[in-house]
Copies of this chain bind each other. A is one copy, B any other.
Amino acid sequence: MPQQLVECVPNFSEGRRRDVIDAIADEIRRTPGVRLLDVQADESHNRCVITFVGGLAAVKTAALAASRRAVERIDMSVHRGEHPRLGAVDVIPLVPISGVTMDECIAAAMDLGRQIWDTLRIPVYFYAEAASRPERRRLPDIRKGEYEGLAQKMVDPAWAPDVGEPKPHPTAGATVIGARRPLIAYNINLATDDVEVAKKVARAARESSGGLLNVQAMGVVSEDGRAQVSMNLLDYTDTPVYRAFELVRIEAARYGVEIEESEVVGMIPLDAVVDAARFYLRLRDFRREQILEAKLMEE
C-alpha cells in the first residue's frame, strides 16, 4: 500500500500578529503524522495560508486543533483586511496527492465540517468537489458579502450552511471546507516578445473560450520580456501538463512561434511529472513504485 498523502491548505484570518500565527501553526507542528511545509502570512490581506501534509486521519486532527486555536485568538468583529473572508477559519481545502481518492477527501471534508460544528460551534459550508449544490462550488460565491454580511446571507434558505445553524459564530463567522485537485501553476514562454501572440494562444488553450478543460490561461509579458502563456492547471489527472504544453506548441506554431521554455511555479505532484515521462517516452505499464524514492515512501 502506498503511503496516504493528503495536502491541507487552511487559510486563517490573521496575517499580522506573529504570536497568533505561530500558535496556530504550532498546533499543526505538534500533531503526530502530519508535516508542516509552509506558513505564509500577508499583512495587507491580514491572512495566513498554512500548508501541511499527512494521512487523512492525522490531517483532520491537525486541522481541527489549528481551528480551535484560531477561534480562541481571532475576533472577526474587529478584523480588517483586503482579502475577502467569511470567518476566522476561513477555508480548509483537502487535496489528494497519492494513495487516496478524491471521494475519500470529500468524505473527510464532510467529517471535519461536522467536527468543527460539534466542537467549535462554527457553521460550515462545503465547496469545490465537496459542494452540496452547484452554486457552492466556487469560493467567491460563498464568500460574497463577507463576514460582515454573513448574518443576513444565512437567513436566506439558499445560503443556509451545510452543517450547523444558520447563524454566524459571533467571533469566528463561518468556515468553508472542501476537497479539490492540486493546482499547478504553469507558465510557457514563447520565443517572441509579441504579447499579442501569447494572448491569442491563451485564448485557444483555456476552458473558458473553447480550449482545454481545467485550464485557465492568459497572455502576459514575462519577467524577461518574453510573451508568456500563464496558466493554472486545475486538474492534472484529467488534463495533464503535457497536453497543455502540446496544445500551446501547436497554437503558437500557427503564428510561426516556437516554445522557448516552460516553468512550474511552486509545487507539483509526482504523478504529474511521471505522466509527462509516460507520454513522451511512450512508457508501457510504468508504475510510480518503480521510482526508487517513491517506493521508499510506501508504508
Q: Taking beta carbons and an 8 Å cutoff, which residues of A are in contact with B?
A: 5, 7, 35, 37, 53, 97-98, 182, 189, 241-242, 245, 259-264, 266-270, 273-274, 276-277, 280-286, 290-297
Contact = CB atoms under 8 A, between A and B. Distances in A.
B284 A268 contact: no
Contacts of A290: 264, 266-268
B242 A280 contact: yes
Given A242-B280, A267-B292, 17 more contacts: A5-B292, A5-B296, A7-B292, A35-B296, A242-B281, A245-B281, A261-B282, A261-B283, A262-B281, A262-B282, A263-B283, A263-B284, A270-B294, A273-B277, A276-B277, A277-B277, A296-B297
A42 B293 CA distance: 26
A31 to B, nearest CB: 16
A266 B289 CA distance: 9
Contacts of A286: 263-264
A196 to B, nearest CB: 22
A147 to B, nearest CB: 32
B295 A297 contact: no
Contact of A260 (B98, B260, B282, B295): B282
Contacts of A259: 282
Contact of A270 (B189, B267, B281, B291): B291
B293 A269 contact: yes
Contacts of A262: 281-284
Given A276-B276, A281-B245, A281-B276, A291 B269 contact: yes
B267 A37 contact: no
Nearest to A182: B292
A268 B283 contact: no
Contacts of A270: 270, 291-294
A259 to B, nearest CB: 6
A263 B278 CA distance: 10
A245 B283 CA distance: 11
Contacts of A263: 283-286
Contacts of A295: 37, 267
A280 B283 contact: no
29 contacts: A53-B292, A98-B293, A182-B292, A189-B284, A245-B280, A260-B282, A261-B282, A261-B284, A262-B282, A262-B283, A262-B284, A263-B286, A264-B283, A266-B290, A267-B291, A267-B292, A267-B295, A269-B293, A270-B291, A270-B292, A270-B293, A273-B274, A276-B276, A276-B277, A276-B280, A277-B277, A280-B280, A293-B293, A293-B297
Contacts of A97: 292-293
A135 to B, nearest CB: 31
